[in-house]
Amino acid sequence: MTSRGKFITLEGGEGAGKSTLLAGLRQHLLAQGVDLVLTREPGGTPLGEAVRAIVLDPAQRGMCAESELLLMFASRAQLVRECIAPALAAGQWVLCDRFTDASYAYQGGGRGVPEERIATLEQWSVGELRPDLTLLLDLPVATGRARAAGRGEADRIEVEADAFFERVRAAYRARAAAEPSRFRVIDASLTPAGVLAAAIDATRHLFGAAA
């Protein structure tokens, strides 16, 4: 019988270095012989990528918090069924750039949507699926925004005020503190090599005693 694969998620504020880490971690896991699926949220499926285009579109400035949350979960419900659950069942590992913690941080912490409402949607669209490991790249808001600013035009969420991103950061840190066995908080102000080394260290237990 095939054993279930491992599910790793990357989280953090804007410009924290998730994409940079994803590339390095991918290389490392492949070198370990892991059969790996990379994906992202919002996105990862044709439906999810269409949702992503809508939620990040600066022209959608009138989007209310409830619509934003439901769109994130529409993308997630599709991704879980079309990609994540089948891959894990087939023994593949899944490395996902953001997952449900982002909804608690951005729509919960950032926009003020009550946590219980997010938990209801999580139960409905994700069921019992939780990451085996969540790497939280933690960085002062100003540093992350300065990094992200180097990439050109800001998307609909990136134009929010610093106070919004401070609430997002606080919500992420609170989640990590509440679930220390799932989260590893990484100091994202380290060099890219330092961040990768910390992430690799955090994945060791997923390989069992042999790694």
Q: Is 120 in the site for ligand T5A (CB under 6 A)?
A: no
User: Which residues make Cβ contacts (< 8 Å) with residue 121, sequence separation at least 6?
Assistant: 69, 70, 73, 103
Q: Is 47 in the site for ligand T5A (CB under 6 A)?
A: no
Range 120-126 contact pairs with CB under 8 angstroms and sequence separation of 24 or more: 121/69, 121/70, 121/73, 122/73, 124/73, 125/73, 125/76, 125/77, 125/80, 126/76, 126/77, 126/80, 126/100
Catalogue the E-assigned strands of 75-194: 93-97, 133-138, 183-187
Q: Is 67 in the site for ligand T5A (CB under 6 A)?
A: no
Q: How many residues bind ligand T5A (CB under 6 A)?
A: 25
Answer for which of 16, 29, 36, 94 binds ligand T5A (CB under 6 A) is 16
Query: According to CB under 6 A, which residues from 182 to 211 bind ligand T5A?
Result: 190-192, 195
Query: According to CB under 6 A, which residues from 142 to 161 bind ligand T5A?
Result: 147-148, 150, 157
Q: Is 41 in the site for ligand T5A (CB under 6 A)?
A: yes
In angstroms, give the least distance from the CB of 35 to ligand T5A. Answer: 24
Strand, helix or coil at 15?
coil
Which residues bind to ligand T5A, rule: CB under 6 A?
Answer: 12, 14-20, 41-42, 72, 97-98, 102-103, 106-107, 147-148, 150, 157, 190-192, 195
